Amino acid sequence: MVKNKKKKILFTTKWLSYTALMTALVVATGYIPGIPVLTGKIYWCDFAIYTAAYILDPLAAMIVGGVGTTFFDLFGINGTAYNAIPSLIIHGMQGLFASLIFTVLKKYFNKPGSNKREGVIAVISSIFPALWVILGYFIKRITWETLAPEVAVLKMPANVLQEIIGVTVAVVICYVCRFKRQLKRAHLLPDFKGEILDSGEVKDLGMQDANENTED
């Protein structure tokens, strides 16, 4: 656990665990063979990033997207280490934007205690991040890879399909299959604000645990 100057716990064990797990999932999806389509390939990391955006907070989603894709580029078997920095920026901001927009829209347009609109909100909140990824890869190809603009344009349809599939799969997992609701019912859904305790509460919990151990 990490504390700030006011002695408040910012990153709990659950926060670290969920973030690490989803980051590892992004790395793992990189090993799934891409589907050749048109002038490019469709990869699977986006569904994991969007799933993290719908379940975790913006900071965690940014880490999942950026660090997850960067780790795969650095240590993957495809020799894509040269993509590590662009992946960190493009997919890191993708996760941040998706989670941030989702959080804001959910706050203002979803009824308290209701999940009926969450699926629609998730789709809407993913539009800008998807456009960001498509534009980001276009810019990366004409700068980082020094491809001609017309060649970079020909590769854009694959990114468009990848984003559509990524959002669709994430929404199906979280809302059609009710994965997020099942997590909530099992009290496994991260509630990061509820886990931020001040030092006094932590001390009280520690004393309570000590008393229970003594009684045992």
Rg of the chain over Cα atoms, rounded to whole angstroms, equals 20
Categorize the per-residue pLDDT at 184 as very low, low, confident or very high, splitting at 50, 70 and 90: confident
Read off the pLDDT of residues 124-179 as tens digits, 9 standing for 90 and up. 999 999 999 999 999 999 999 999 999 999 999 999 999 999 999 999 999 999 88
Model pLDDT, residue 114: 63
- How far, in Å, CA of 105 to CA of 113, rounded? 15
Q: How far is CA 210 from CA 2, 125, 206, in A?
A: 22, 45, 6
Encoded amino acid at 98, one letter? A
Name the maximum alpha-carbon separation found in the chain.
74
Q: Which CATH fold topology does 2-215 show? A: Arp2/3 complex 21 kDa subunit ARPC3 (1.10.1760)
Structure tokens at 64: 């999942």
- How far, in Å, CA of 198 to CA of 202, rounded? 6
- How far, in Å, CA of 43 to CA of 34, rounded? 5
136 backbone φψ class: left, alpha, beta (φ>0; ψ -120 to 50): alpha
Read off the pLDDT of residues 72-112 as tens digits, 9 standing for 90 and up. 999 877 678 889 999 999 999 999 999 999 999 998 888 76
Structure tokens at 210: 């000590």
Average pLDDT, the chain: 84
pTM listed for this prediction: 0.83
- Of 62, 43, 42, which is closest to residue 52 (Cα–Cα)? 62
